[in-house]
């Protein structure tokens, strides 16, 4: 891919952010356009490229989800999860799935009893349809994506294009955040998660998706064989996204990104030849310089509050008692609900209502593991074990996916600090189930096919 074309894409998404900042209804128009565009591309795709189109389409809308949400750009709140489901189903209409993926069909079926329990027990003041849809849209999105991705093969170039599709909308969101919060000194007054520096949206979700962007840019930087200028642009973008993720004061997304990068580098380093190992060491030194500079700049801009945040201290430098910022209480409550209702659980969407009734505090779950066992009981335990163990068993037999541990850990860590409020954990879980082919195209036709893939990824 030519640098000029990549640069044009970055400019387009930066300009898009400026347009949305000036005229917020543009966000909805953007959502409708990408929905129509990617639906058309999937429907028109040949069977050979159907998988690629589906994954690229899903990646792009997943990357755009938080940006659209913070600007009211979706027709309803959970629209992106349903859009991912729709894209995957379009792919499944013409591309069959592996019989071994039926384990994920079982996972989806295990969620059904909890719906009936909820219908029977939810209070009259609760909107049952919304409660069920809100709590199951993420798990169902994950299940259907997993069915589609399980043992499906994509090329190395295709997965790079899919990750690029995930990254581009995050560039828009980052530019928008800079426009939205020009004066950090006024915005940052303590060590708590900061809604102002997160564009007025949930810091946890903003930090999470920016962390994905940091990971994608890190992989591009280390694996790219392009010119130094090309790699320097990726490294510059990485520092900008990392900076905006850090100053949300939400630690989950940043720490998860660091872990993803470490696992990727470890696996990549042991897979490559001696020459590439040397290049990685040189790149790592430059990478660490940029990372250190980013952290130092973040510290200066936040008046030292960011160090206190990661040291689990308040603004006065005193240690906080609960490092989980209240999440441990929620998890304990949800496990107690499971112990009280071990067979069928308390029903989909009832954790929030039960907590309000018992404690007078209305708080949504931050942990998908404790939520699924509380609401679905023993069925939930089995469903979660399927999610937890199936990728690991798959990995024992197939080690082609260089990104496996990074994707798998992103899902596992994210659902433990942010549940499945956004589509990213569901989609990226599916990516860890892919086979990746690293064959280098030799024939002229293969080279043309590669150009076609790149053209598709760039919207041509």
Task: Quick: pLDDT tens for 7-22.
Answer: 899 999 999 999 999 9
Q: Is the pLDDT of residue 459 over 60?
A: no
pLDDT of residue 141: 95
Mean of pLDDT values over 147-156: 94
- Band of the pLDDT at 460, cuts 50, 70, 90? very low
Q: How much of the chain, in percent, has pLDDT values that exceed 70?
A: 88
CA dihedral 180, 183, 185, 191 (to 10 degrees): 10
More confident residue, 121 or 50: 50
Q: Is the pLDDT of residue 135 over 90?
A: no
pLDDT of residue 50: 93
Least confident of 58-62, 112-116, 308-312, 440-444: 440-444
Non-local CB neighbours of 210 within 8 Å, separated by 6+ positions: 170, 173, 174, 241, 242, 244, 245, 248, 253, 257
Rounded Cα distance, 273 and 276, in Å? 5
Mean of pLDDT values over 136-152: 94
- Band of the pLDDT at 169, cuts 50, 70, 90? very high
Q: Is the pLDDT of residue 351 over 80?
A: no
pLDDT of residue 120: 75
Residue 376: name the closest of 365, 392, 361 by CA: 365
- What pTM was computed for the model? 0.91
pLDDT of residue 276: 87
- Band of the pLDDT at 53, cuts 50, 70, 90? very high
Mean of pLDDT values over 382-402: 93
Q: Is the pLDDT of residue 448 over 50?
A: no
Least confident of 192-196, 226-230, 259-263, 380-384: 226-230
Q: Is the pLDDT of residue 445 over 60?
A: no
Rounded Cα distance, 163 and 219, in Å? 10
Q: Is the pLDDT of residue 125 over 60?
A: no
- Band of the pLDDT at 451, cuts 50, 70, 90? very low
Non-local CB neighbours of 312 within 8 Å, separated by 6+ positions: 319, 320, 323
- Band of the pLDDT at 122, cuts 50, 70, 90? low
What phi, psi does 438 have (nearest 5°)?
A: -110, 20
**Cβ(447)–Cβ(441) under 8 Å?**
yes
pLDDT of residue 444: 42
Mean of pLDDT values over 180-196: 83
Q: Is the pLDDT of residue 248 over 90?
A: yes
- Output the CA torsion sign for 233, 234, 238, 239: negative
pLDDT digits (tens, 9 = 90+) for 67-102: 999 999 998 889 999 999 999 999 998 877 778 899
- Kindly state the tokens that stand for 71: 């600007």
- Band of the pLDDT at 34, cuts 50, 70, 90? very high
Residue spans per domain, the chain: 3-457
- Kindly state the tokens that stand for 112: 């059904």
pLDDT of residue 3: 56
Mean per-residue pLDDT over the chain, rounded: 87
């Amino acid at each position: 891919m030519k640098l000029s074309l990549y640069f044009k894409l970055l400019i387009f998404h930066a300009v898009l952010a400026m347009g949305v900042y000036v005229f917020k209804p543009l966000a909805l128009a953007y959502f409708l356009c990408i929905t129509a565009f990617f639906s058309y591309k999937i429907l028109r795709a040949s069977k050979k490229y159907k998988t690629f189109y589906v994954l690229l389409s899903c990646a792009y809308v997943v990357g755009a989800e938080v940006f659209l949400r913070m600007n009211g750009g979706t027709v309803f709140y959970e629209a992106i999860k349903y859009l991912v489901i729709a894209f995957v189903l379009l792919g499944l209409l013409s591309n069959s799935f592996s019989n071994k993926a039926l384990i994920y069909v079982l996972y989806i079926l295990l969620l059904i009893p909890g719906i009936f329990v909820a219908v029977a027990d939810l209070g009259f003041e609760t909107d049952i349809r919304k409660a069920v849809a809100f709590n199951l849209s993420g798990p169902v999105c994950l299940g259907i994506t997993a069915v589609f991705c399980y043992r499906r093969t994509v090329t190395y170039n295709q997965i790079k294009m899919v990750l690029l599709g995930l990254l581009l909308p995050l560039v828009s969101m980052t530019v928008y955040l800079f426009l939205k919060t020009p004066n950090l000194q006024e915005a940052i007054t303590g060590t708590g998660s900061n809604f102002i520096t997160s564009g007025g949206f949930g810091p946890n979700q903003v930090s999470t998706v920016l962390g994905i962007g940091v990971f994608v840019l890190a992989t591009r930087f280390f694996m790219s064989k392009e010119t130094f200028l090309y790699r320097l642009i990726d490294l510059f973008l990485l520092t900008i996204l990392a900076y905006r993720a850090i100053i949300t004061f939400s630690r989950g997304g940043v720490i998860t990104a660091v872990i993803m990068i470490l696992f990727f580098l470890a696996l990549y380093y042991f897979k490559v030849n001696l020459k590439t190992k040397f290049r990685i060491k040189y790149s790592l030194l430059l990478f660490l310089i940029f990372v250190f500079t980013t952290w130092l700049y973040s510290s200066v801009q936040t008046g030292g509050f960011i160090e206190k945040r990661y040291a689990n201290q308040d603004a006065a430098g005193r240690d906080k008692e609960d490092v989980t910022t209240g999440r441990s209480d929620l998890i304990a409550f949800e496990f107690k609900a499971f112990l009280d209702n071990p067979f069928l659980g308390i029903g989909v969407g009832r954790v929030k209502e039960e907590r309000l009734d018992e404690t007078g505090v209305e708080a949504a779950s931050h942990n998908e593991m404790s939520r699924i066992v509380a609401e679905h009981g023993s069925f939930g335990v089995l469903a979660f074990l399927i999610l937890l163990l199936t990728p690991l068993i798959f990995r024992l037999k197939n080690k082609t996916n260089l990104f496996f541990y990074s994707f798998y850990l992103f899902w596992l860590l994210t659902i433990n600090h942010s549940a499945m409020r956004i589509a990213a954990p569901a989609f990226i879980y599916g990516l860890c189930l892919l086979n990746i082919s690293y064959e280098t195209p030799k024939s002229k036709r293969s080279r043309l096919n590669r150009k076609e893939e790149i053209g598709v990824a760039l919207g041509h």
